[in-house]
Structure 1
Amino acid sequence: MMNSPAAIIFRDSRFPIVGILIFLSVVMGSCLSVGNRMSNEEPRQRVQINDGWSFYKYESPDEADSLIYDVRPPLDGVTENRVADARPTEALEMKSGQMVLKPWILPSANQFIRDTTKHRVRPEGNPGINFPFVLGDFDDGQWEKVNLPHDWAIEGPFQAGSDPEVGGGMGRLPVNGVGWYRRKLDMPKSDQGKRIYLDVDGAMSYTMVWLNGSLVGGWPYGYNSWRLDLTPYINFGETNQLAIRVDNPNHSARWYPGGGLYRDVWITKTQPVHVGQWGTYINARDVSDQSAIIDLSVTVNNPLGHNAEVTLMTTIYSLDSLGNAQLQPTGTFPEMKALIQAGQKTTVSGSVEVENPRLWGPPPTQKPHLYMAETVVVLNGEVTDRYTTRFGIRSVEFNPTEGFIINGERVYLKGVNQHHDLGALGAAFNMRAAERQLEILREMGCNAIRMAHNPPAPGLLELTDRMGFLVINEIFDSWERKKTPHDFHLIFPDWWEADTRAFVQRDRNAPSVIMWSFGNEVGEQYTGEEGAEVARMVHQVVREE
């Protein structure tokens, strides 16, 4: 059966596409890093912390601690015999007197909620402060030692018999349950005054983070990348204890989701005034072989208690096939100046013309040339940030009679649906395995991929950018109506805007992304105007980004 998206936005389109795209269902995954001019020196550092974790998973979900994000509906009438395209049903309303941590986690989304009157206020108190796993003096010596990315279920065992705890739809593997990850973080005294962020490329799911016994925040959706500000909780000049709780419910997916910290995790250190998370947006227009206009928007954060007047300078470099920047710049944007109010952020924009651009396009008739923009933020004569953005220059048109046109050439989309796991390797992200899958797909004539049905690991888009695949980027297998009792319909009302904005902001500079899909076979297609209103709501947010 063909998997068809319920709602798609065509990127850079002037017309809706007319035709039929056929995607073969396959199971795949992702990763790669692109070379750039950023180093692990001041003013910005990005340090991967994949090694040296201690891991523990409760034997049974029934034995898990009570530090839950929210209560879940009962599993009444669950069956493995439900057909894949059965109509999703209305969500159940839940009431419980049990304490939940949801009010402390919701403020993590505030950065992506445009209407500030809807920002969540963190309650008083510090849930879990006395729970042993979050404390620095807890002895985790008997826990399993793991490196990330880590999928806690792929080693098995498979669950045999006619009535397994985890059904075939989720792989008959022990994906369900609650697990904890702990790691020490050394923060030198010299880092005092910087902003320290935890960046998680993806964790499955309902992730909550403690540092030195304090609940920092979290993110429930298992496929998005997200960031938490660790700065207020860090003891500089000391060893800090990071503890992460991951809770993956049974009957939460229609495929194998994996479990745990299954993508890369990073520590990002910046000066106080810096380019925000995914804070650049680059778009090419009036593209030809002779020239192209490059538009740039940069968002700069100022968490200081006073105003900051900054100058931004951005230079464009061409990248070679290994991702290395050429020595001579391709173009330079005019200097941009901004006065950022205390505790606020500001977005500034500029444009530059690039002559004789090396266009990004799909092989074999075109080449996926890439560029890098290096943005320097200057405050009081000092460089406070250096931020790089990988992008490509290409024109895209969806023509009602000619179909899909890129750089003036009509290209047929010959594609597959790609799930996030790597087969026998599980959901844990592996660069070479993902690259090998793409190489095999290219050999069989594939030039396009639809992400099924969620945002991929960032590295997969680095690969598609470098290798020249065309991508339909997708989020949400369900909206407010459920397909399985514990799928992400449970969090959609609270998190849809933050998840959607984060999804687009992270990937909008990837030249391989030609369409945005924000719903796969969602149940709202059966609810008339009510469902159409949800579609309009999400569509508007995608367009705004």
Structure 2
Amino acid sequence: MKYLKGIVLLIVATLTLQFCKKNDIVEATPLNEDWKFSKINETGALDESIYSIAYDDSQWETVNLPHTANIEPLTVNNQWQGICWYRKRITIPKSDKDKKIFFELEAAMNYSKIWINGIEVKDHQGGYLPVIMDISKYVKPGAENIVAIRLDNTDNLVTGPKPLKRLDFNMFGGLYRKVNLTTKEKIYISHPVLANKIAGGGVFITYPKVSEAASIVNIKTHVINEYENSESIELVQIILKNGKIIQEKTSSNIEIKAGKDIELTEQITIVNAELWSPKHPNLYSLETKVLQDGKVIDQQTTNFGIREFTFDDKHQLHINGKKTFLRGVNRHQEYPYIGYALSDNAQYRDAKKIKDGGFDYIRLSHYPQSPAFMDACDEQGLVVIDAIMGWQFYNDTEDFRNYCYQSATNLIRRDRNHPSVLGWEVSLNETKEMPVYFMEELNNITHAEYPGDHVYSCGWKDDVYDIYLEARQHRILRPHPYKEMPITVSEYGDWEYYSKNAGLNQDKLPNDVRTEMSSRQARGYGEKRMMRQAINVQEAHNDNLSTRAYSDSYWVMYDYNRGYHDDIERSGLMDLFRLPKLAYYFYQSQRDIDDVAVLKLATYWNDKSPTDIKVYSNTDEVELYLNDELIAKQKPDSGKDTENLKHPPYTFNLNEFKQGTLKAVGFVDGKKITEDIVITPQKPTKLKVWLDESGKTPAAGQNDILFLYVAAIDDNGTINPDFTETITLEINGSAKVMNVDAVNAEAGIATAVLQLGNTKETIIVNANAAGLSGNHEFKID
């Protein structure tokens, strides 16, 4: 019997190996390691030879992607702009001689030229959307091939926006996202950008019917035959949920003529559908397989979520038929020192912090962001307004308009299958000069590329778009009759509290007072000024809820640098190192208690602290104790700036400061749910060191970027916010500190930006400062 079992297992294993070999499809291969890089002050002679096969790049720096062209200081006063080059040797297997080979840069800032083996293959305007090319006829299978890429991130009249010296953010250079090489047979699923078919190319998934009882998934697949003969194929569509097959459909005997293409449409009904929403971001995956003579010759996996965004007659948003207000935030993709060069894991961590901060929605400002970030929004349940590049710039030329039209087209083709996308911001933010015909064309592109109902263009003007993006300061300064259209408060909480002309009487304040009363507050400015930001955002969010807007998005989630200013823009709910300010906890507390219980004492409780204590919580009642003595048991605040909030904060009035332990206890329906404790900081006795993983453990082989935090703590484990010393780090292992500035503590915490290598290993970090020490150990998987 044992013998028979062994024979059966051997047969199964053999068949499995044969099946795997038969269906060994070459998919996207990352090309992110061992690039040669140099910033070059070009001369005519150099430009003639630098892309050639024979050019000697041995003295260039060896880098891995994602990569920034220049490591900048924390505060960027003079960002590098110029020409840089990347070169890489790639070997194409000899067996791929008659195959299709595609090369893709996920992003390259800003104007790029690409050569393969000394031949110019493509030039591309724009630094935020993919650069994709068919390089089949330029490469030599079985031999070494040279890829040379020239990037130019100087000011550009074709792509805009404003010149850097007048720009409200920074456009950092380099190959700052991934590069992929894809090999296919000559019958293959197309790439939607290369296919260049309106509402077509690749795999396009839509939802004619959305219902938990039964939803219809419409799948349009574009297949190309580049053989010299007509070919017959079989198309298989498999829908899976958590790895389990839900539905499968096969279409056989599909004839594609020589040199032609075909679009195939399937409709699959899913009974008991699990719909996608911010609370329940259910994702399915679609496996599309093209078979010939029983062999899989191409396949593609597409993640999707079944959802429907609709607006009622009062222009309120419904997601899958349920009325939903979206609490949101804006996001810039900048990191300290490395600019835009985030790993996929870092993109995910940014999205998770936003979700954990109490948000359901992100307006992407003011450009297309990473595919990895979009994937994370799908997974986390973050609704997105997806945007083309644009900020206070319109160039009245055909080249500029065509660039904008192509950007809108390619953005939709890239992101159309993401369930998180509610609308397409095909508008140039705060650009008064946009003519109506220009906006009309962008709106038309949106509806041509994504036909059907419940598809929405967005713009900061209400002339032609489906959704009006109205900043709060614009509403205050220039109130006007609303058109019959959905409205979102696209930006709020910063400019109206800062600018002298934003409508809240700042013009009557001295500059120093205006700054102190603004929302632009660093963690190091102290507890009182951070609380000022928290008061501002509470007032503004409460005000937004009194309008008919279906959503709002605070400006901004993370601090960022500005080309035109010599200081960091500090209105972020988190700083550049992704450390929270007090206003972050206000938004956390607006989450439903069914999602998570939130209770946060917004104080350091030292002799500098206000004696009016704010507690942010979504519980019904809160008790506050000082040194185990009950101060009060209270309901949430009422009155001004609380009327519309889901969960107003609690304010406890203490007459004087007394050091010791504050304890807040939260109750729901009379039952204790959660508590928070703050102990007056004492003299630091050691350093606490930890790594910010935010849902993604450290990973090798992707140039992973993580924040390493070092805090000065006392014997109670309390961080001392007065600690501002410089930290020295000793790292054992392949992790590199990217800080070009000293690793200084701010409000008790110092941050090192770590870049990980390609080795799976254990990293040991030892930290020292002012006679204090601490360590941390972590694994790179």
TM-score, normalisation: structure 1: 0.71
Distance 1:409 1:345, change over 3 A: same
How far did residue 287 of structure 1 move? 1.7
Cα deviation digits, residues 385-443 of structure 1 (max 9, x gap): 11111101122212232611112222211111112223444101223333333233223
Partner of 1:294: 217
How far did residue 270 of structure 1 move? 0.7
Q: What secondary structure sits across from 2:334 in the alignment?
A: coil
How far did residue 147 of structure 1 move? 0.6
Among 516, 526, 532, the alignment partner of 2:424 is 516
1:411 aligns with 2:324: yes
Letter paired with 1:395: E
Partner of 1:259: 173
Q: How does 1:92-491 map to 2 (within 5 A)?
A: 131-156=48-73, 171-250=76-155, 251=163, 253-278=167-192, 279-319=202-242, 325-326=243-244, 329-335=245-251, 338-363=254-279, 367-401=280-314, 403-477=316-390, 481-482=394-395, 491=399
Q: What secondary structure sits across from 1:437 in the alignment?
A: helix
Letter paired with 2:248: T
Distance 2:253 2:132 in 1: 27
How far did residue 468 of structure 1 move? 0.6
Distance 1:490 1:64 in 2: 29
Among 403, 408, 426, the alignment partner of 1:500 is 408
Q: What secondary structure sits across from 1:498 in the alignment?
A: helix
Cα deviation digits, residues 285-336 of structure 1 (max 9, x gap): 32222110110100112233333333211110013xxxxx23xx11123526
Show structure 2 runs of 5+ residues with no match.
Answer: 1-19, 156-162, 193-201, 450-781
Letter paired with 1:348: L
Q: What secondary structure sits across from 2:340 in the alignment?
A: coil
Q: What secondary structure sits across from 1:241 in the alignment?
A: strand
Cα deviation digits, residues 339-358 of structure 1 (max 9, x gap): 43433332111101101111
Q: What secondary structure sits across from 1:519 in the alignment?
A: coil
Letter paired with 2:322: E
How far did residue 502 of structure 1 move? 1.5
Cα deviation digits, residues 54-98 of structure 1 (max 9, x gap): 10102xxxx32459xxxxxxxxxxxxxxxxxxxxxxxxxxxxxxx
Cα deviation digits, residues 184-235 of structure 1 (max 9, x gap): 1011111111111111110101111111111111321111113111110111
Cα deviation digits, residues 107-138 of structure 1 (max 9, x gap): xxxxxxxxxxxxxxxxxxxxx9x933222232
Distance 2:260 2:77 in 1: 48
Distance 1:463 1:450, change over 3 A: same
Q: What secondary structure sits across from 1:142 in the alignment?
A: coil
Letter paired with 2:228: G
Cα deviation digits, residues 464-500 of structure 1 (max 9, x gap): 01111000001130698249xxxxx884234334322
Number of aligned residue pairs: 412
Asked if the contact 2:219–2:265 (Cα under 8 Å) also holds between the matched residues in 1, the reply is yes
Q: What secondary structure sits across from 1:333 in the alignment?
A: strand
Partner of 2:464: none
Letter paired with 2:439: A
Q: What secondary structure sits across from 1:335 in the alignment?
A: strand
Distance 2:60 2:25 in 1: 36
Cα deviation digits, residues 29-65 of structure 1 (max 9, x gap): xxxxxxxxx999733321111110010102xxxx324
Q: CA RMSD in A?
A: 2.6
Distance 2:334 2:132 in 1: 23
Letter paired with 1:51: E
Letter paired with 2:232: E
Q: What secondary structure sits across from 2:426 in the alignment?
A: strand
Distance 2:111 2:27 in 1: 27
Moved more, 349-358 or 393-402: 393-402
Distance 2:26 2:392 in 1: 37
Show structure 1 runs of 5+ residues with no match.
Answer: 1-37, 68-127, 159-170, 320-324, 484-488
Cα deviation digits, residues 508-538 of structure 1 (max 9, x gap): 0101111111013364x546xxx11111112
Q: What secondary structure sits across from 1:504 in the alignment?
A: helix
Partner of 2:443: 539
Partner of 2:652: none
Percent identity among equivalent residues?
28
How far did residue 382 of structure 1 move? 3.3
Distance 1:290 1:157 in 2: 52
Letter paired with 1:386: Q
Distance 2:258 2:336 in 1: 49
Structure with max Cα Rg: 2
Cα deviation digits, residues 452-475 of structure 1 (max 9, x gap): 111111000110011110000011
Distance 1:48 1:357 in 2: 34
Asked if the contact 1:395–1:406 (Cα under 8 Å) also holds between the matched residues in 2, the reply is yes
Distance 1:40 1:398 in 2: 49
Asked if the contact 2:105–2:178 (Cα under 8 Å) also holds between the matched residues in 1, the reply is yes
Distance 2:236 2:285 in 1: 14
Q: What secondary structure sits across from 2:129 in the alignment?
A: coil
